[in-house]
A = this chain, B = another copy of it.
Protein backbone atom coordinates (compact mmCIF):
# COMPACT_ATOMS: atom_id res chain seq x y z
CA UNK A 1 0.00 0.00 0.00
CA UNK A 2 1.26 3.40 -0.86
CA UNK A 3 1.47 5.59 2.17
CA UNK A 4 0.08 8.39 0.10
CA UNK A 5 0.13 11.23 2.55
CA UNK A 6 1.43 14.72 2.16
CA UNK A 7 1.99 17.77 4.29
CA UNK A 8 0.77 21.11 3.02
CA UNK A 9 3.14 24.01 2.47
CA UNK A 10 1.85 25.57 5.64
CA UNK A 11 2.49 22.35 7.54
CA UNK A 12 6.06 22.13 6.24
CA UNK A 13 6.62 25.74 7.23
CA UNK A 14 5.27 25.00 10.71
CA UNK A 15 7.76 22.11 11.03
CA UNK A 16 10.57 24.35 9.77
CA UNK A 17 9.70 27.10 12.25
CA UNK A 18 9.32 24.70 15.16
CA UNK A 19 12.62 22.99 14.36
CA UNK A 20 14.45 26.30 13.95
CA UNK A 21 13.03 27.69 17.21
CA UNK A 22 13.76 24.52 19.18
CA UNK A 23 17.24 24.36 17.69
CA UNK A 24 17.94 27.97 18.71
CA UNK A 25 16.84 27.26 22.31
CA UNK A 26 18.88 24.07 22.55
CA UNK A 27 21.96 25.51 20.86
CA UNK A 28 21.81 28.49 23.23
CA UNK A 29 21.96 25.97 26.11
CA UNK A 30 25.02 24.32 24.53
CA UNK A 31 26.80 27.63 23.92
CA UNK A 32 26.20 29.22 27.34
CA UNK A 33 27.23 25.99 29.09
CA UNK A 34 30.39 25.79 27.01
CA UNK A 35 29.32 22.41 25.62
CA UNK A 36 29.98 23.69 22.09
CA UNK A 37 31.94 26.59 20.66
CA UNK A 38 31.60 28.11 17.19
CA UNK A 39 35.08 28.29 15.68
CA UNK A 40 34.11 30.20 12.54
CA UNK A 41 31.50 32.90 12.18
CA UNK A 42 31.13 33.64 8.47
CA UNK A 43 27.43 34.37 8.96
CA UNK A 44 25.60 36.61 11.41
CA UNK A 45 24.58 35.23 14.77
CA UNK A 46 20.93 34.60 15.60
CA UNK A 47 20.73 34.68 19.40
CA UNK A 48 23.70 32.40 20.22
CA UNK A 49 23.79 30.44 16.94
CA UNK A 50 25.40 30.97 13.58
CA UNK A 51 22.64 31.53 11.02
CA UNK A 52 23.24 28.20 9.29
CA UNK A 53 22.31 26.30 12.44
CA UNK A 54 18.58 27.11 12.71
CA UNK A 55 18.28 26.84 8.92
CA UNK A 56 19.71 23.32 8.97
CA UNK A 57 17.64 22.14 11.95
CA UNK A 58 14.48 23.69 10.54
CA UNK A 59 15.10 22.24 7.09
CA UNK A 60 15.88 18.84 8.53
CA UNK A 61 12.72 18.90 10.61
CA UNK A 62 10.53 19.70 7.61
CA UNK A 63 12.31 17.07 5.50
CA UNK A 64 11.96 14.36 8.14
CA UNK A 65 8.27 15.07 8.65
CA UNK A 66 7.77 14.93 4.87
CA UNK A 67 9.62 11.59 4.66
CA UNK A 68 7.53 10.11 7.48
CA UNK A 69 4.27 11.02 5.83
CA UNK A 70 5.31 10.23 2.26
CA UNK A 71 6.86 6.82 2.83
CA UNK A 72 5.50 5.59 6.14
CA UNK A 73 2.18 3.93 6.82
CA UNK A 74 -0.69 6.14 7.95
CA UNK A 75 -0.92 6.46 11.71
CA UNK A 76 -3.55 4.30 13.30
CA UNK A 77 -4.87 7.05 15.53
CA UNK A 78 -6.10 10.51 14.73
CA UNK A 79 -2.76 12.15 15.28
CA UNK A 80 -1.85 14.09 18.36
CA UNK A 81 -3.91 16.47 20.49
CA UNK A 82 -2.57 19.80 21.66
CA UNK A 83 -1.56 18.32 25.01
CA UNK A 84 0.48 15.61 23.36
CA UNK A 85 2.13 18.07 20.96
CA UNK A 86 3.14 20.24 23.92
CA UNK A 87 4.47 17.14 25.73
CA UNK A 88 6.49 15.97 22.73
CA UNK A 89 8.08 19.35 22.09
CA UNK A 90 8.77 19.95 25.80
CA UNK A 91 10.33 16.48 26.11
CA UNK A 92 12.79 17.06 23.27
CA UNK A 93 13.65 20.63 24.29
CA UNK A 94 14.08 19.45 27.88
CA UNK A 95 16.35 16.61 26.73
CA UNK A 96 18.38 19.13 24.72
CA UNK A 97 18.78 21.26 27.87
CA UNK A 98 19.69 18.13 29.86
CA UNK A 99 22.63 17.51 27.51
CA UNK A 100 23.88 20.99 28.48
CA UNK A 101 23.10 20.51 32.18
CA UNK A 102 25.34 17.43 32.41
CA UNK A 103 28.38 19.44 31.27
CA UNK A 104 31.03 18.89 33.93
CA UNK A 105 29.61 15.57 35.10
CA UNK A 106 31.55 12.37 34.32
CA UNK A 107 30.99 11.65 30.63
CA UNK A 108 29.79 8.09 31.17
CA UNK A 109 27.09 9.21 33.60
CA UNK A 110 25.99 11.92 31.16
CA UNK A 111 25.68 9.38 28.34
CA UNK A 112 23.70 6.90 30.47
CA UNK A 113 21.18 9.43 31.77
CA UNK A 114 20.62 11.06 28.36
CA UNK A 115 20.17 7.70 26.61
CA UNK A 116 17.78 6.52 29.35
CA UNK A 117 15.68 9.69 29.04
CA UNK A 118 15.70 9.34 25.25
CA UNK A 119 14.51 5.74 25.49
CA UNK A 120 11.63 6.87 27.72
CA UNK A 121 10.65 9.54 25.16
CA UNK A 122 10.84 7.11 22.23
CA UNK A 123 8.84 4.44 24.05
CA UNK A 124 6.24 6.99 25.14
CA UNK A 125 5.65 8.69 21.81
CA UNK A 126 6.50 6.25 18.98
CA UNK A 127 3.33 4.79 17.51
CA UNK A 128 4.90 2.64 14.81
CA UNK A 129 8.16 1.07 13.77
CA UNK A 130 8.39 3.74 11.10
CA UNK A 131 8.47 6.45 13.77
CA UNK A 132 11.46 4.64 15.30
CA UNK A 133 13.02 4.35 11.85
CA UNK A 134 12.74 8.13 11.51
CA UNK A 135 14.53 8.39 14.86
CA UNK A 136 17.33 6.16 13.59
CA UNK A 137 17.53 8.16 10.35
CA UNK A 138 17.81 11.39 12.33
CA UNK A 139 20.55 9.85 14.47
CA UNK A 140 22.63 8.67 11.50
CA UNK A 141 22.23 11.82 9.42
CA UNK A 142 22.52 14.15 12.40
CA UNK A 143 25.64 12.62 13.89
CA UNK A 144 27.30 12.35 10.47
CA UNK A 145 26.54 15.98 9.74
CA UNK A 146 27.89 17.09 13.11
CA UNK A 147 31.03 15.00 12.64
CA UNK A 148 31.61 16.61 9.23
CA UNK A 149 30.97 20.12 10.52
CA UNK A 150 33.37 19.48 13.39
CA UNK A 151 35.96 18.05 11.00
CA UNK A 152 35.86 21.15 8.80
CA UNK A 153 36.28 23.33 11.88
CA UNK A 154 32.89 25.04 11.99
CA UNK A 155 32.47 24.28 15.69
CA UNK A 156 33.68 21.87 18.32
CA UNK A 157 32.49 20.12 21.43
CA UNK A 158 34.39 20.85 24.62
CA UNK A 159 37.17 18.36 25.21
CA UNK A 160 35.51 16.97 28.35
CA UNK A 161 32.34 16.03 26.45
CA UNK A 162 32.35 12.31 25.48
CA UNK A 163 32.62 12.11 21.70
CA UNK A 164 32.58 9.83 18.69
CA UNK A 165 34.42 11.35 15.71
CA UNK A 166 33.93 14.88 16.98
CA UNK A 167 30.20 14.50 17.74
CA UNK A 168 28.97 14.15 21.33
CA UNK A 169 28.09 10.55 22.19
CA UNK A 170 24.75 11.48 23.79
CA UNK A 171 23.62 13.03 20.47
CA UNK A 172 22.59 9.47 19.61
CA UNK A 173 19.77 9.71 22.17
CA UNK A 174 18.91 13.33 21.44
CA UNK A 175 18.55 12.73 17.69
CA UNK A 176 16.58 9.49 18.20
CA UNK A 177 14.05 11.23 20.44
CA UNK A 178 13.93 14.23 18.09
CA UNK A 179 13.33 12.01 15.06
CA UNK A 180 10.51 10.07 16.71
CA UNK A 181 8.77 13.28 17.77
CA UNK A 182 9.19 14.93 14.36
CA UNK A 183 7.69 11.81 12.75
CA UNK A 184 4.66 12.08 15.05
CA UNK A 185 4.34 15.81 14.36
CA UNK A 186 4.51 15.12 10.63
CA UNK A 187 1.66 12.63 10.89
CA UNK A 188 -0.35 15.08 12.97
CA UNK A 189 0.05 17.70 10.24
CA UNK A 190 -0.54 15.37 7.32
CA UNK A 191 -3.42 15.36 4.94
CA UNK A 192 -4.32 11.96 3.60
CA UNK A 193 -4.84 12.02 -0.14
CA UNK A 194 -7.52 10.27 -2.10
CA UNK A 195 -9.79 9.62 0.82
Q: Among the listed B32, B83, B119, which residue makes an inter-chain contact with A126, where contact means beta carbons less than 8 Å apart?
A: B83
| Alpha-carbon distance A98/B102, docked complex (angstroms) | 11
| Alpha-carbon distance A94/B108, docked complex (angstroms) | 12
A97 interface hit (Cβ, 8 Å): yes
A29 lies within 8 A of B108 (CB): yes
Centre residue among A33, A97, A113, A122 by max chain B CB count within 10 A? A97
| Alpha-carbon distance A100/B107, docked complex (angstroms) | 12
B123 lies within 8 A of A28 (CB): no
Minimum Cβ distance to chain B for residue A184 (Å): 14
| Alpha-carbon distance A101/B110, docked complex (angstroms) | 8
A contacts with B: majority SS:
helix
| Alpha-carbon distance A109/B91, docked complex (angstroms) | 14
List the interface of chain A (C-beta within 8 A of B): 25, 28-29, 32-33, 83-84, 86-87, 89-91, 93-94, 96-98, 100-102, 105-106, 108-110, 112-113, 115-117, 119-120, 122-124, 126
Q: Which 10 A-B pairs have the closest CB atoms?
A: A94-B116, A90-B119, A97-B113, A97-B112, A87-B123, A32-B106, A83-B123, A90-B116, A86-B123, A29-B109
